[in-house]
Every structure is written in C-alpha cells, then in structure tokens.
Structure 1
Amino acid sequence: MGFLKAFELAKLDQLTQSISKPVGVVWLLTLLLFLLAAIFFLFQMENWWIPAAVAVVLSQLVIILSWQDAKFGTIMNVIILLVVIVGMATWKFTSETAKELENLLAENETSTALITEEMLHDLPSNVRTWLNHVGVVGREDIDTISFRQIGEMKLEPDGKWSASEAEQYVTTGTPGFWWRVSVDMLPVVDVVGRDLFRGGTGDMKIKVASLFPVVNVSNNEKVDQSTMQRFLLELPLFPTAALQPYISWKEVDPFTAEAQMRYEGMEAIASFHFDKNGSGELVRVSAFRYKDHDEKAEPIECIGQIHEYEEINGLRIPVKVDISWVLEGEPFTWYRFEVVDFRLQ
C-alpha cells in the first residue's frame, strides 16, 4: 500500500500521511521479501527465516515512518518475529547436529569382508540360525545404515500419544549412532531431540521449539551405558555387526541368546529372544538400561518387540517395533514406530 501511495498508483484513503518514493520502494521491497520467505517456507527450505527476518526489520521501519496510519502492523511483526526466532533456532539445531553426523561418519572404519558360513562357526547355534535366517551369509559387512522412523511417543503410561518423525544413522566398524527426532508434543511448536553414541560415550539433547533446552547431558556414565545398550538392542537392524570383535555371544537356552558388547572400557548386555519353532525369527530384544541419568536412577528393563519384517537388499530387517520400559512389573510402551527409507552401505 505504501508503494502504491508513493507512486500515486492508487487512491488509498487509509494512508493519510505522505510517503516519499524512496520509502515507497522500501514498502515494495518488504512485500517481496515476505513473499520470498513464504515461498521458502512452503517448500520447506531451512533458511526461510533469513528473508523473513529482513522483511520484519524493513516492515517495522516503514511502520515507524507512517506510525499514525500503520502502527497496528507492529502486532503482526511481533508474531512473525517470534516465528522467525523459532525458525532460526531450528536451523541452528539442524546445522549443529548435521556436523555431529558428519564427524561420526568420517570416523567409521569401513570393511569389505565377505561373510561366510565358516565365520558363524563359533557362535551359539540359535544365533547362527538367526543370522542365516536374516541372510547375512554371502554379503559384505554393513558399514553404515540410515533410515527414518515414523511413529508416536508418550511420556507417561496414562499420557496421550504424540506423532513423531526421526532419522538415524548407525556405524558398525567404529560403533556409533546419531538419532534426531521431532515430536508434535505441544500445540504450536515441536519438541526436538538428538541422541549421539560416539567413541563409547553418549550425548543427549532435548529442546522445545529447538530453542529452550530441556535435557542436555554428556559425560555421564549412566547415559554412556544406556546408549551402548541401545546400540545392542538395535543390532537386528544391522545384523552383520553380530560378528564384530567388540561383541561376544552366549546361549542362555535354545530360544534365547545373550550379546555382550565391550568397547572403550564400557560393557553392555542384551538378550535376544527367538521364536519357539526354530526358524531363527527374532521376536524380541531386551536389556537393562538407565531410563534417567540422575544419581537415583537405576537400570530397568527395556524391551523392543518386533511386529513386522521386510526384506531389504537381501536382508530381513525389522520395520515395525514397539519400545517399552518395564515399570513396577508392567510394560509401559512409550514409543512405537515404523522404519522407512532404509539404506545399507
């Protein structure tokens, strides 16, 4: 409107103050920047907030110059500014965590070893049956996997489910994982989180709107232990790692095996439960992990229940899983997800 008035392209009685042509050009530039920001936002470009931030500054400048007529535009600018701050925080969180992923992948030791039947010889018979069943024999070691998880979470047994979407990378030569999640837990803003297992240590971050830290824990032995246990629990997603030297196996009974992981002075143990018909189908994994990281935290049982498999690049991979804590003897399923966009390297 300021541009139209400045160049006398329309009669605008709402604007009673005169507007010079240079200021009118600023009005037009502000409009174009807002439109550009809207296009970037609609196409989910992470840097949409940059033109929006510049537009808010210019918009407020021309509002001040025409304060009597345009002062109420300040309300809209404040609303947009708050969204811009969240957008900037999201971009910063995404950039920082992407750098962590880059470092994790760069440190991974890759292998081209071809897995043979002889390499399974010293394993417990139920583990051998499982690895043959999922198809590891005759293929190279899996160095890296990546996938997305589409699912839902809840914080309390009687709480409501919130939609979630996560992406994860796992390295096996140098064991580690990077997991970034976004949860629609609040009406307007998302809760984002990142779990990192690298060099035998864990690192956990949770933020509201990518801005306000809720959890930021590292250099904590209980988190280190819990993240290593998680690596073991997720082994069915990258089953060739069952043969890595940092993992050893023990048969508990014909339908249960115990995997022990030793790495960088830490130790983790998980139980693998197979079906009773002897096919080698893994139905459940479990381990005692720390749910919390404070001084009072004690390890409790964590269970991954596998509901569905899919054959991906010749490997039988679990794609529908429920994750539960056992609280006071009762399972509390807090996360259920489906694996999509699974990639092996």
Structure 2
Amino acid sequence: MRTLIRWTVGLIVVIHGLIHLMGVVEGFGWADVSQLTQPISASMGVAWLVAAVVVVAAGVMLLAGLRWGWAVAGLAAVVSQAVVVTSWTDAKAGTAANVLLALAAVYGFRANGPTSFRARSRRLADETVRSALSVAGPPGSLVTDFDLAHLPLPVADYVRAAGAVGRPHVVGFRADIRGRIRAGADKPWMRWTGEQTNTFGPEPSRVFFMDATMKGLPTDILHAYVGPAATMQVRLASLLTLVDAHGPEIDQAETVTLLNDLCVLAPAVLVDAPIEWTPIDDRHVSATFTNAGHTVSAVLTFNDNHELVDFASDDRLAASPDGRTFTPRTWSTPVTDYRSFDGRRIGAFGRARWHPADAPSFDYLEFHTDDITYLEPGHGT
C-alpha cells in the first residue's frame, strides 16, 4: 500500500511538471497553445521552464523513494504555485497538485528530516558507537579458550561454535533486520524493516528504529536505551504520536531486551559481559544481568549443536497499546536458522513470544537478520 501511494503521488507530480511545459511553449512562442487564454512573456516562459524542471525532479525523487526528496518537493510546490498565480485563470487547477506536493514535503520532512525518528536513531547510534570504541582499549586482543574458562560449559560451547575464539573481542554491532509485528494474538501483522545498533561496555546501549506499516500507513517506531533510561515512541505517518512510553517499566523491559540481544545477536560479547551465570543442566543456564539499577534474569536453552534455541524471562513487562500500562508476563525468543556473518555464526531468524497466564502463548514479532557488522576495538564506526 505504501509503495502504491508513493508511486501514485510521484506520477501525479511528474505529470503536473510536464504540464508546465505548456507555459514554456507559449512563452517562447514555439506554438499557439489553445488551452492558454492569458499571454505569457518570454521571461515568464523561463519561469515556467524552471518550475517544470523542479517539479519533475521532485516527482522522480518521490518515485525513487529518495529520503531527501522532501526538500525538493517543498521547493517545487513554492516555485510551481508562484507561476500558477501569474496565469491564475488558466492554471489554477494546478494548485491541487501543489497542495499534494506540499503534503508530500511535510510528510517527507517528518519521516526523513533532521527531526525524524530515523535521523535521531542514526545520531544516537553514531554517538554510542564512538563512545564505546573510545573506551574499548587497543586493538589486537583476540578471544582465547582461556577467556571462556569462567563460563558454564553450554555457554562456552555456544560462544566457541559462534566463531568467537581466535577473533577480536566485540564491543557492539550494527544490524539490518526485517520482519513483522502485531499488537495481539488476534491483531493483524505489520511488516517492518529495522536498523539496530547495540554497544556493550561500561554503559550498554540499544538504538532500534523500525519502519513499519499499519493499515497501509507508514509507522515509525523508535526504541532508545542510552544512559540510564529507555524510551519507546511510535508515530503514525511520521506525524501523529501514538505511543511515548518511558519510566521504570520501560527501563526494565529494555534491560531484558538488551540481555537478549547480547545472547542472541552478539555471543562473542558473553566473554566480557557482566553476567552472573547459574548452571541448571547440560542444556540450560540461568543468566542474571544488571544495568542502570535494573536486574533481570533469563533461562537460556541450547541444543546438541551448541546453538542457543530459546531465551525465556519473567522480568519483561507487556505494554498496553498506548504504552501507559504494563503487565508482568513471561517472554521468550526461540531462535533458528543459524548462519555466518563475516565468520561469526548466529541464529538469523527468531520470534518474540508472550506467554499469558490466562491464555495460550502467541508470537507477536518475527525477525530476520539480513546483515550484521560487529564493532571491534580499534575499528572505525
């Protein structure tokens, strides 16, 4: 639906821009345009040509989905309307197309401009990466079997199978992820793509931007856990704020998610992570993690191939649709589809699952890791 809207608007704008050429033809005297009853001078013909070029460029950028197209769309709306006013009797219908252009510019600014969730997430991600690398120490230190000695055997085998031994220590990652999400067991699924950056060190952080679609409308979701506090914000069409959640409940929930990311997406970090491990049996281990005053625990389940196949915690709270109330509920993330990313092996497909006490368990999120880059000491951002 989103692509259809973008293409429809883009084509309308391109056609609108081409219609401006009628003013060019009339102004330069190349032909008599019967649809135009008002005279157009040669100098105004130049103005109509400039407007045509700018409007067509804006339409092409909208069709291509270029993120900075909003700036050209805004300029095009102003320039086009300026020439429309000079031939108001003949060209006033073009005002409708210019209003559409202006709306596209406003939406584009909110979706991709400097105040957008996307731009904010990238600024936060870059800041946290620079901070993590600045205190990571010198490059060259490799993970050895000795570094795994303090880990329970299932965890050590998992880290080893993930390809950590003989590779540099890891202080974070950047990942491109996609999937689908829904608000409840009986709610429709929403497709999304995401950009995620995590750092692990003295001040762990998690910045996750999701570009989703709700009922055909674009929906921006930003999770930011930087410093001692976390936030979750949702905007419909990049304009209407649906959720602005913060407080101790979100802090605790994001602490569980941070631990989950560490275990699922960055097993090499388990070598250095401040986690208290409690062995349960040869396939299960309990992990306790503290960050910013919040202590959370989870049970990790491994298979015979030394792969993490599930992560379950009772410490993550389920948020209401508006993000204002929270309910204690068991949360798990079964993981499959192990594959290698730059020599490091992780589960590329996972689910997030709620286990209500009074209803059947259900998956509310699915994710596919398309690409992941690990941050190592001494490397750039």
Q: What is the TM-score with the length of structure 1 in the denominator?
A: 0.92
Q: Deviations over 1:268-327 (max 9, x none)?
A: 21211112x4x4221111123112276752221111111210022332211011111123
Query: How far did residue 110 of structure 1 move?
Result: 1.9
Structure 1: how far apart are the matches of 2:324 and 2:95? 48
Matched, 1:7 2:44: no
Cα deviation digits, residues 21-62 of structure 1 (max 9, x gap): 332222111111012223333444321111221111121222
State whether structure 2 residue 283 is matched by structure 1 residue 255.
yes
Query: Offset at 1:344?
Result: 1.7
- Bigger mean CA deviation after superposition, 204-213 or 129-138: 129-138
Report what 1:29 is aligned to.
Answer: 50
Structure 1 residues 344 and 157, CA, compared in 2 at 3 Å: closer, same or farther? same
Distance 1:114 1:265 in 2: 31
CA distance in 2, matches of 1:22, 1:340: 53
Please give the secondary structure, in 2, of the residue aligned with 1:184.
strand
* Distance in 2, Cα, partners of 1:306 & 1:237: 10
Residue of structure 1 aligned with 2:258, choices 231, 245, 249: 231
TM-score (norm 2): 0.84
Per the alignment, residue 221 of structure 1 pairs with 248
State the distance in 1 between where 2:361 and 2:178 align.
22
CA RMSD of aligned residues (A): 1.9
**Residue in structure 2 matched with residue 105 of structure 1 by the alignment:** 129
**One-letter identity of the residue aligned with 1:73:** G
Map residues 1-345 of structure 1 onto 2, 5 A cutoff: 1-92=22-113, 93=116, 94-108=118-132, 109-111=135-137, 112=139, 113-173=141-201, 174-187=203-216, 189-218=217-246, 220-234=247-261, 235-275=263-303, 277=304, 279-288=305-314, 289-292=316-319, 296-327=325-356, 328-345=358-375
8 Å Cα contact 2:335/2:349 also seen in 1: yes
Supply the AA of the counterpart residue of 1:319. A
Deviation at 1:329, TM superposition (A): 4.2
Contiguous gaps of at least 5 residues in structure 1: none
The residue identity in structure 2 corresponding to 1:243 is V
Q: Are the equivalent residues in 1 in contact too, given 2:76–2:101 (CA < 8 A)?
A: no
Paired residue secondary structure (1:96)? helix
Per-residue CA distance 1:198-237 (angstroms, 9 max, x = gap): 123212221112222112233x111111111001112221
SS of residue paired to 2:214: coil
State how far apart, in whole Å, the 2-side matches of 1:17 and 1:138 are.
78
CA contact (8 A) 1:190 1:208 kept: yes
**Which one-letter code corresponds to 1:67 in the other structure?**
W
Do the aligned residues in 2 keep the contact of 1:233 with 1:287 (CA within 8 Å)? no
What percentage of residue pairs aligned between the two structures are identical?
Answer: 25
1:155 aligned counterpart, secondary structure: coil
3-state DSSP class of the match of 2:35? coil
3-state DSSP class of the match of 1:46?
coil
4+ long deviations beyond 4 Å: 293-296
Give the letter for the 1:343 counterpart: T
Contact 2:73 2:105 (8 Å CA) reproduced? yes
Q: Aligned partners of 2:105, 2:127: CA distance in 1, in Å?
A: 29
